[in-house]
C-alpha cells in the first residue's frame, strides 16, 4: 500500500460536522424556501453520517437503525414541506421565506 491513509472515524465525524455547519449557515442566510429545504436535508444527512460512523466504531447496529428513522422522518418532512412550498408559490410568485410572516404575534 502506497501512502495509504487510514480513514478513521474522526474523519467521518469531521465531515459530518462540516456538512452540518454548511447546512446550518445555509438555512440561516438563504431566503429561498427550496434552498432552505435542501439545507435542512444536508443537516439531517450530516447527522446520519455520524450515526453510521459511530455505529461502526462501537460495533452497534443501533446507529444504522437510527438512520432509518431519520430517513423516514426526512421523507415525511419533504412531502409536507414541498407541498407547502408549492402552495406558497401558487399564491405568491417568487416569495421568499421572509415575505411569509402572517403568523407574526
Partner 1 sequence: MVEAVWLIPAFPLAGFVLLMLMGPKLGEPRAGWLATLAMGGSFVSSVVVYIGLLGEDAHDRQYVQTLFEWVPAGDFQVDIGFLVDPLSVTMTLFITGVGALIHLYSIGYMHGDPKFSKFFLYLNLFAFSMLMLVLGDNMLLTFLGWEGVGACSYFLIAFWFTDEANASAGKKAFVTNRIGDWGFMVAMFLMFTTIGSIQYTDIFANAAGISESTATAITILLLVGAAGKSAQIPLFVWLPDAMAGPTPVSALIHAATMVTSGVYLLTRMNGVIDVSAAWAPTTIAWVGAATALFAATIAVAQNDIKKVLAYSTVSQLGYMFLAIGTGAYVAAIFHMITHAFFKALLFLGSGSVIHGMDNDQDMRHYGGLRKLMPVTSITFIIGWLAIAGVPPFAGFWSKDEILAFAWEDNVALWAVGFITAILTAFYMSRQVFMTFFGRYRFADVRPEEVEELAATKVQAAENAVAEAEVGIGGAEEAVVKATEKLEKAQEKLVTRETEMADADASDEKAFDKATKNLDKAKDGVEKANVAAEEATAAVEAARDAVRTAQAQVANVAAASMGTGAIEFDLFNAPNIGEMTDDDLPEAARARREYHPHESPWQMTLPLVVLAGAAMVAGVMNLPFTSDLHFLDHWLEPTLVHPAHLTSSASVKWILAIVAVMGGAVGIAAAVAVYLRGRVPAAKIELPLLARGWRYDESISNFMGGPGRKSFDLVAWFDATFVDGAVNGVGRLVRDGGGQLRRLQSGLVRSYAAMVAIGAIALLVWFLSRANF
Q: State the residue for C-alpha cell 500500500.
A: 1
Using CB under 8 A, which of 24, 41, 49, 81 touches partner 1?
24
Q: Which is nearer to partner 1, 8 or 21 (CB)?
A: 21
Q: Could you say whether residue 5 binds partner 1 (CB under 8 A)?
A: no
Q: With CB under 8 A as the contact rule, which of the stretches 7-15, 22-30, 47-55, 73-81 interacts with partner 1?
A: 22-30
- Residues in contact with 18: Cβ distance below 8 Å, sequence separation at least 6, in sequence order: 46
CB of 97 to partner 1, least distance (A): 5
Q: With CB under 8 A as the contact rule, which of the stretches 46-54, 63-71, 86-94, 95-103 interacts with partner 1?
A: 95-103
**Inter-residue contact 82 to 88 (CB < 8 Å):** no
What is the secondary structure of 45-91 as a DSSP string? HHHHHHHHHHHHHTT-THHHHHHHHHHHHHHHHHHHHHHHHHHHHHH
Using CB under 8 A, which of 13, 15, 27, 74 touches partner 1?
27
Nine-digit cell string for 74: 426526512
Residues that bind partner 1 in the complex, under the rule CB under 8 A: 24, 27-28, 31, 36, 97-98, 100-105
Amino acid at each position: 500500500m502506497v501512502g495509504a491513509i487510514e480513514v478513521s472515524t474522526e474523519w467521518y465525524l469531521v465531515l459530518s460536522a462540516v456538512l452540518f455547519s454548511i447546512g446550518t449557515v445555509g438555512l440561516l442566510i438563504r431566503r429561498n424556501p427550496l434552498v432552505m429545504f435542501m439545507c435542512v436535508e444536508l443537516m439531517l444527512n450530516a447527522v446520519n453520517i455520524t450515526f453510521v460512523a459511530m455505529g461502526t466504531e462501537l460495533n452497534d447496529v443501533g446507529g444504522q437503525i437510527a438512520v432509518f428513522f431519520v430517513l423516514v422522518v426526512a421523507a415525511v418532512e419533504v412531502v409536507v414541506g414541498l407541498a407547502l412550498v408549492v402552495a406558497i408559490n401558487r399564491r405568491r410568485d417568487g416569495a421568499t421565506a421572509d415575505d411569509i410572516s402572517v403568523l407574526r404575534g
